[in-house]
Structure 1
Amino acid sequence: MSSTTVTPEAVEAVIFEALKGFGVEEELLTRDAEITALDIDSLDLAELAQVLDDELGVEIKGDDVKGITIVADLIDRVVAKAA
């Protein structure tokens, strides 16, 4: 488990970095970006969940991301799970 403090800014940084690794263009990465518009599929989300666990020690499951449509909602969900 990482010693990184789980703040919205820390979560955003981890998510944005991971999404860039999946091929998402940096200029598309905003809190208001729609997940589907970023061309992120379920495999990418599973990999992102592993990154969040590795980097922040927050375990995200499939049910945790149901209904999430924008990046900000994902960030908020991760922060809430860490609390």
Structure 2
Amino acid sequence: MARRKGITIRLEFDDKSKLKLRAIAKHVGALADELDKIDNAWQCDCGSLDYSDHTYPSGTSVTRVCDKCKESYIIPNEELPTRLEGSD
């Protein structure tokens, strides 16, 4: 089968248009980050998004308590290293 050639489109913008497009790109990125936060927000099995965290003295994990149903969950601390430095 013969290979098809692609289409090339050339666009030229003045300086103001370039600045406007950069501003749009910046805000679209911020919007995507905010929507991602909403999608990945912690949610209790009862459906509530409201909770309070209580850190263990060891700092290895947190007890998360739902403000609505009072169910508690143990949440591991993701900031702690999972392996020793220098080990591969």
Q: Same fold (TM over 0.5)?
A: no
- Structure with greater proportional helix content: 1
Larger radius of gyration: 2
TM range (shorter): under 0.3
- Structure with greater proportional strand content: 2
Q: Which protein, 1 or 2, shows the higher relative CO under an 8 Å CA cutoff with sep ≥ 6?
A: 1
TM-score of the pair, normalised by structure 1: 0.23
